[in-house]
Copies of this chain bind each other. A is one copy, B any other.
């Protein structure tokens, strides 16, 4: 957490081992903070636009996106896994989307404990409109990177994701 400013702009100062270690530490921390701020910037922008133009929240949009990809319907528990949020949360989101007529619960075949959640016709229609605009927003927000930049970032983040997933599971 300490940032030494010594040597900046001064005569060429030899970097001893301790300083180098500190710098490597900072490299990870700084990358993490940048990752966080990029994600937050984009997320806040998309969240705000969805709200302003469609009166919908990001969480509900994401849930509808999953259902659109699975027209046969998904169980609450599958939604929970795919959206990486708790089941309790899915209950709440589904309740509201159902109240707005965008999704519908139906009994799951062969398991009376479970529901199958599907988009209604109204839900499909609304989502189609939103998805098109949403895609353009994302393309536009990321247009500061060239195609090659995007490919490279995608690759580097794949490496990171794999490692983090490994560390995470190993620790469990």
Which A residues are closer than 8 A to B by beta carbons?
1, 24-25, 27-32, 34-43, 45, 65, 68-69, 84, 131, 135, 138-145, 147, 149-154, 156-168
Contacts and interface: CB of A to CB of B under 8 A. Distances in A.
B43 A36 contact: yes
Nearest to A65: B1
A153 B31 contact: yes
Given A142-B160, A144-B164, A35 B32 contact: no
Overall SS of chain A's interface: helix
This protein's copies in its complex: 2
Nearest to A156: B153
A151 B143 CA distance: 21
A69 to B, nearest CB: 7
